[in-house]
Amino acid sequence: MSRSNPRSKTERQSKQPSETSGSTFNISGEVHAGVVNLGGDMKIDQLSISLPASGETPAGQPASEAILFLAADPINAPRLRLEAEARQVHELLQRGDAARRFRFETRWAVRPRDLSQALLDLTPRLVHFAGHGTPDGQLCLEDDNGQACPVSPQKLAALFELVAENVECVLLDACFVAIQAQAIAKHIRYVIGMPGLVSDRASMAFVTGFYQALAVGKPIPEAFRFGQAQMEIAGLPPEMRPVLLEANK
């Protein structure tokens, strides 16, 4: 014999979910001593808000890793197609599972203070610089007037030493950055740099292969080889191909 529910009809009705169950409300009011006063006789004496833990999304999944694209194209230097390069990287990182694992952050007309601020704000795993280098190994950022602001290898390496715990790879997509790459590689696990002159076409070929591989989960050294392969397929000369430096090697 099954047991019956002794509750009255009125009591059973009072236990039914309200029509607003699961809805979202915007609540506003004054807070006094932990009590939210909604006006009139309505108040909430306990308000609990659950936030995701640090490093997790609301669904409990691991937070995405930042890829920071830094662009500097001073007005007193030859024009580069940096927007097209950024668009290509963004499109590749939107494919499949990469859209969940990575978030693509861009900073334009980067000045020295913008560089350090972005590194602090975003704690990126990979830093991709696109712009100009000088024959003596300096990297060209911009000043407040948009003019070239060269930064020495020693100064840039000192900055990356401060974020070495977070940054796994630095990609220097600019001309004559071999000296910069060697200096940064003292602190960062992987550094990719162009030793000589490099064209927009060469840059696009390399980043296509590199990010194609990165997007499907390949490690940095293997992604680097995919970038090299794309440059070879495009018929680009060996002197335009980047080098990969690994820390302590």
- Over residues 200-208, the mean pLDDT reads 97
Q: What is the pLDDT of residues 23-82, one digit of tens each?
A: 444 444 454 444 445 455 545 444 443 334 444 444 555 569 999 999 999 999 999 999
Q: What global pTM score does this model have? A: 0.76
Domains observed in the chain: 65-196+212-219 (3.40.50)
Q: How far apart are CA 183 and CA 24, in angstroms?
A: 53
pLDDT for res 61? 57
How far is the first Cα of the chain from the last one, in angstroms, to the nearest whole number? 79
Question: Distance between CA 93 and CA 186 in Å, rounded?
Answer: 28
Q: Higher pLDDT residue, 231 or 11?
A: 231
The alpha helices in the chain, defined as continuous H runs, are 9-14, 82-92, 98-101, 112-122, 153-162, 178-184, 200-215, 220-233
